[in-house]
Copies of this chain bind each other. A is one copy, B any other.
């Protein structure tokens, strides 16, 4: 009667980054811009660190929506990049779906702008298509809390799991012993409090 625990498995995950474009980002007002930028780049770092196949897509990038933020382009120079000619729901774009299926993964991590459209539409379609969908809520932005919580409710009711980037990283990593240095660096780069803990600790232990 309840959702089973579908656990992220790094061997079975693909990442879909949808419409993080310089124009559209000005619409995001439910998360502070400094924090939101950090969250999105953290997801990118996760994808790279765990070598997760990643797919980039944009909506109408040659107009007011603006180009994909350059940091994402640079992070995934070889990723499938689908500049959608018009489809609002990325899942309505055949090339996009083909790219997703080509990864051979069953678990999809989705983040994008704006949450109730660019994230929710492909999330709902992917669930319908049999995928396990994990929404990275803090790397997905929208106009305000009413739009956010409406979108969350719709996606959760349909079976999507709501996660945030830190939880995603931890669930993928499973065990610190797999690579302390790597995960620690990722956290240090995206969580100032964690970076401070590490600096304090290293300073004391190194006798500096």
Footprint of B on A, CB under 8 Å? 1-5, 7, 22-23, 25-27, 29, 31-38, 59-60, 63-67, 69-70, 85-89, 92, 114, 116-117, 120-121, 124-125, 127-128, 137-138, 143-144, 146-147, 149-154, 156-159, 161-164, 166-167, 170-171, 173-178, 180, 184, 191-201, 203-205, 208
Number of identical monomers bound together in the oligomeric complex: 8
Of all chain B residues, the one with the shortest Cβ separation from A59 is: B176
Complex-state Cα separation, A195 to B4, whole angstroms: 40
Considering only CB atoms, which chain B residue lies closest to A26 in the complex?
B26
Q: Say whether B66 contacts A197, CB under 8 Å.
A: yes
- Nearest neighbor of A161 in chain B, beta-carbon distance: B154
Pair A31/B146 contact, Cβ less than 8 Å: yes
